[in-house]
Structure 1
Amino acid sequence: MDCMSLLGFCVCAPDAEFRGSLPFPAFDINRDTIPPLLRRRSSQAMQMAFSAAAAACGHAGRSPATLPSIFASVAGEINTTDQLCSELVKADGVISPAAFHNSVQNTAAGYWSIAQQCTQPASAIAAGTDTFAMALLEAWCQLSCQGGELLLVCYDEIWPAYLAPDCGSPAFACAMVLAAGAVEGGLVQIARPKTGAAIFPPAWTKSADSMPILAAIPLLEAASVRAGAQAIALTPHTPSWQVDLGGWK
């Protein structure tokens, strides 16, 4: 496989001020993307992931039920997990089975499959500060081996402040529909992720250091403006993971 094509994408950012600072359109959480029976048990992470995923599928003109999916998050259901740990340290702490069920890394992926009645494979990954880069690499590997199309969702909710001071904010989610090879009508072609010396934009370095999933911003900005073939850094570190973009229409 020479490249993968970006067919559509969407960004969800609940904080209005941060949303307005982004160099591409972004939207608030759309709770209508979550079935009523799931809403009461949904976290901010799940709400953002669903909002971005549904809109990206709509942008690409694809049915969510037909797409394999990859859900990538640095901290996953961190607030639910934090609540469970707080209960565990109590002498009479009682663990909620529902909370435990909703604390795992694949919570959003699992509920998305259920909500969309999707029987395609779903993956959930985390890779620290390289989570976005590894999400793209996982997408490349799956498309290279299986062909077709898939949905990639990268997201993180706000982390409890005392766990990582000055980190874990703001909340952010992005979703992309990707296809194997060069596809007519695609927004841009993305080469295989690799290590390299591409420089992460200084304007977003502090943000990505605070919330690693924001490392997606440079790639999304390039895709939104179609500014020309270029190398895009996927982490704020140097040397870093990067991708080469091309195929602008």
Structure 2
Amino acid sequence: MTTTLSAYVEAVGVRGPGLADWPACAAVLRGDVPYAAAPTELPTPERLPSAERRRAVPVVRIAFAAAEQATRARPDMTELPTVFSSSGGDGPNYHAICETLASDDRSISPTRFHNSVHNAPSGYWSIATRDMSTSNVLCAHDASFGAGLLEALAQIVCDGVPVMLVAYESDYPEPLRSVRPIPFAFSVALILSPTPSNQALARLDVSLIDAPHDRLADAGLESLRGTVPSARCLPLLAALAATNGAAPDDASHTCLIEYQSGAALRMRVSPC
């Protein structure tokens, strides 16, 4: 028997190459404007205190870029439990640590060390928001977005409270990139709720099936989806973009998100 997990999408945040925010991303995914890849801009985390802001490494900045967008869209939703999901964390910081360890002076700065842990973005977020809610941090290699989404949905079903999912990657410099070829920084944040508000964007019903995943027609977007694990979300974002603004009785959109070992997450996105 297939289990279906359901929630309502209350807000979206996106930052990636040529994708500055959710409205810009939605316009590209709907085909309103052509996709033009460009280096991902990493904004300064607005909500961090000045001392922590100076220490924020690329993976923290890319995670905050999407999370701050989503929470700005729903300032009424506070004290959100979170799920942070990334396939590898901070590539540039790992590169710098490896360079130090390969040098004559192997002293690693405390800042580099504490930024190297996988839960660094989650820790910075709790500092920025002063939120004492639970935060789960996970990694599932290329399936990290899907695993994070399943974790967030399971919490919603079990606890009956809204959850924010933040999935993110930083790009990997050479020579790490030759082993782990992630060419772009990318992040997505979804605020998900067990019940819809008047501002809800869509209903999301998710099940795990054995099936091939969807690919995107645009070559640039498909390359992004295939090379950056957190960008596996793009078919879902395309369905959300197509559904946004639709009447409640309009047809739903279904997509298949790449998961593990030939499996896929089947997602039905329905207007509220």
TM-score normalised per structure 2: 0.80
Q: Could you tell me which of 207, 223, 232 is aligned with 2:255?
A: 232
Cα distance in 2 for partners of 1:233, 1:199 equals: 5
In the alignment, what sits opposite 1:248? 271
Where do 5+ consecutive residues of structure 2 fail to align?
Answer: 29-39
Matched, 1:7 2:7: no
> Partners of 2:170 and 2:145 in 1: how far apart?
15
Number of aligned residues: 245
CA shift in 2, pair 1:236/1:67, >3 Å: closer
Distance 1:142 1:237 in 2: 21
Give, in angstroms, the shift of residue 180 of structure 1: 1.8
Do the aligned partners of 2:239 and 2:254 also contact (CA within 8 Å) in 1?
no
Secondary structure at the counterpart of residue 129 of structure 1: coil
Among 122, 141, 154, which residue is 1:109 paired with? 122
Letter in 2 for 1:108: P
Q: After superposition, what is the alpha-carbon deviation per residue over 1:109-150, rounded to whole angstroms, capped at 9, x for unaligned? A: 011001100000011111111011101111111111111101
Say yes or no: does 1:40 pair with 2:54: yes
- 1:15-164 aligned at under 5 Å gives the runs 15=17, 17=18, 23-24=25-26, 28-31=41-44, 32-64=46-78, 66-164=79-177
What do residues 36-67 of structure 1 show as CA deviations (whole Å, max 9, x unaligned)? 22121111221121121111012234344x10
Q: Give the superposition deviation at 1:187.
A: 1.2
Paired with 1:173 and 1:72, the residues of 2 have a C-alpha distance of 10
Moved more, 128-137 or 179-188: 179-188
| One-letter code aligned to 1:225 | A
Residues 246 and 98 (structure 1), Cα distance of their counterparts in 2 relative to 1, 3 Å cut = closer
How far does the alpha carbon of each residue in 1:179-230 deviate from its partner, in whole angstroms, 9 at most, with x for none?
1255554211112341232541243443223212111111112112207423
Question: What is the rounded CA distance, in whole Å, between the counterparts of 2:51 and 2:135 in structure 1?
Answer: 21
Provide closer, same or farther for how the CA distance between residues 149 and 223 of structure 1 changes in structure 2, counting only shifts above 3 A.
Answer: same
Matched-pair contact (CA < 8 Å) for 2:5–2:153: no
Q: Is 2:234 the partner of 1:217?
A: yes
Name the structure 2 match of 1:188.
202
Looking at structure 1, the residues matched to 206 and 190 of structure 2 have their Cα atoms a distance apart, in angstroms, of 16
Counterpart position of 2:224: 207
Q: Structure 1 residues 19 and 115 mapped into 2: Cα distance closer, same or farther (>3 Å)?
A: closer
Is the Cα contact below 8 Å between 2:169 and 2:185 reproduced in 1?
yes
Q: How far apart are the structure 1 equivalents of 2:7 and 2:270?
A: 10
Q: Cα offset for 1:19?
A: 5.1
In structure 2, C-alpha distance between the alignment counterparts of 1:2 and 1:242, rounded to whole Å = 11
Aligned mates of 2:184, 2:229 — CA distance in 1: 10
Q: Is the 8 A contact 1:161 1:168 kept in 2?
A: no
Q: Report the TM-score, using the length of structure 1 for normalisation.
A: 0.87
TM-aligned CA distance change 1:206 to 1:30, over 3 Å: closer
CA distance 1:196–1:205, change in 2 (3 Å): farther
